[in-house]
Structure 1
Amino acid sequence: MQSVEYAVVGGGAMGAATAWNLARRGAEAVLLEADELASGASGGPGRRGVRAGGRDLRELPLTRRALELWPELDAALGAPTGYRRNGLLNLYDVEIAGLSGWQSLPARAQAQQAAGIPCTIVDRERLDEMQPGLAEDIRYALFTPDDGTADHPATTRAFAKAAVGLGARVLEHTAVTGLAAHADGAVTLHLAEGEHLRATRGVILAANRSTPRLLADAFGMSLPLWEKATQITFLAPPPGFSLDHQLGHTRRSLSIKTTDEGHVMLSGGRPGGWDPATAVGTPDPDVLRTALADVAATLPALAGAEVLAVDNSRADTSTIDLIPVIDRVPGAARVFVGTGWSGHGFALTPAVGEALATWALDGERPDTLRPFTFARLGVV
């Protein structure tokens, strides 16, 4: 049986970032991926949001750290992540109960600023300067200037390549089928080819779809997650159209970005069809119609824009409160979990990788990870 100090399961962005952070602190690490790097939720077309705006308040300290790290990642990893900072405008139109109403704006701005996230309230006059062409009923926005986007697969591969450069191993097409924790704290990983790997200091389960099964089989834990494949639509913008910032809409499930090719990318969390058994996604025409109606109601110039592609080929896992699970398995102190990213975990990648590695190496949970427990979901 081969042995290693740390085994990281899951070759997505979180797993690769954790492996790199372990390796840069001198630990022996191996990253195990059942398929290929970025073949799951960390893959797919388009750009992903690197945002603090509109997040759950429990995520803001972790997000603040991530936003400190993102601008330096290309240099630190020695490879491009595609990161660029263009700011996020979260749009408000009508006043309704709850956080979607514009009267909540001062409270939201105060909470974000208190967490170290710069933001300003923008009125309609200023909005017309920042993003011409918005629908007339939009009254305000919360502008988070440090938000941006990056390339999800490129970031994942950059972390993995940098980890290898520091001595870590990356094993693709190496599925983990089971775990066994031992009295001495070591953990044996059972691999699909009948081989075994002994992790002497820790295991980090960073795989989205397989983590619940591994926890159930090894520890009898029922982790309340479900799979969803967010549907993404790509449009050809009309001549002269420009998008100067990312746009979000607090009342509609809508996120609008520009791709490297100049196309308009619509997302926002609505899932298309997904079969967990076959891991195959099927675009939902009703979701497409809703997305097109929402973007036309937000940016009238995009009404009738040509649909270039619809994609929901990559599934993520979600929790009931839409924040991740980042915790240590009860009774198995050297098994750590990072999953349940709920469609918006990518922005947190640099900070989560750093914090998980710190916890595994030093034995003390970083303060930024304290909200993301099993216990909050009824798992003990």
Structure 2
Amino acid sequence: MKVLVIGNGGREHALAWKLLQSKQIEQVVCVPGNGGTASMEGCQNLSLAVDDFEAIAQFAKDQNITLVVVGPEVPLAKGITDYLKSVGLMVFGPTKAGAQIEASKAWAKALMQEAGIPTARAAVFTEAAAAKSYVKGQGAPIVVKADGLAAGKGVIVAQTVEQAHAGIDAMFGGEFGSAGKFVVIEECLTGQEVSVLALTDGLTIRPLLAAQDHKRIGEGDTGENTGGMGAYAPAPIATPELMAKVQKQVLEKAIAILRKKGIDYRGVLYAGLMITPNGDFKVLEFNCRFGDPETQVVLPLLETPLEELILACVEQRLAQMPPIAWKQGAAVTVVAASGGYPGAYEKGKVITGIPEAQALGTTVFHAGTKAFPGGSEKTRQVVTDGGRVLNITAVGENFEHALTQAYAGTQCIHFEGMYYRRDIGHRVK
């Protein structure tokens, strides 16, 4: 079968990489892909915009594509699944109605409250004065969120009322575009964040291994929020007992309330949880797609063929599938980012050392890269083309082994301005 993967990040490279491990997959096409997907055997890039639904559909039909897997949230929020299904294509990813669970934090918060899903206390505002007055009454620390999609950066954990007010001004002032038309203000929860990515066919929902992401740019979890600077799986804090509660109190309730609202949700439901020091948990957010960089540590541990799980979701027969099988051990990924990220950064910096890193046994997933055609893998020039550039991933028999391997691979790689956190996994060291 032929599969079309929508997106150009590390997540999409990992999806294509995993799919191509199956004998059932003859080809993967990435739209638009990146420098890593361009160089994989059995994979090709197609230079189309992720929201050019008509051109994507025409290509898929002309090339007899069996399945479309949508990576990023933006095309899902714009209705790519609805469009492609309307022309007879099989798509993994929720409809526009389902994608609201990520595209609108206010909508998701109301959904959680209606379903009785544990979540932080919150209020929604449409103008700055009322939001500031609420913050003044609540005090700090407090969390200020842009309502819509903001590439993982529309969240400010304000330590003072003044910081919260500045964040409110930035959001209503257009810093996050249309995402700032509404602002959600939440109580600030403390503890450890855990990402639970679950697969669902709209009736049954099964979690994948829990992972922990590192969202802050600075070591010790300091500085600005990013799209994620590294991750590991499985997360030790997500015990079997805790995951059983998450299944009942979060995942099954979420699918039930979506179904009650007439939303046939087939794809990934990603619950971002805060695990409090006493072992309780609350949902910080829901996402409508695979996490990035969590996917880059979850998929390397997956034994069950990925396309079998995806097809079971699309064809609404997930309940008939045997339990998901996993490899023993742990996986770690370290994100190599452009200097200046998550703020302004330069592109076009030549990257060296990827073959050397892979020779050590790591897998290098490309995120923000561009490859120039010609030459072998060792001689082909690859340059930076985004904020998060590479994910250097290792699987080991235990966490320490995987961590050592990932950092050994990272130290092989060089480009001007390269930055990476040196404390990935500090919670479990």
TM-score interval for Structure 1 and Structure 2 normalised by the shorter chain: 0.3 to 0.5
Question: TM-score, structure 2 length as denominator?
Answer: 0.29
Higher RCO structure, 1 or 2 (CA under 8 Å, sep 6+): 1
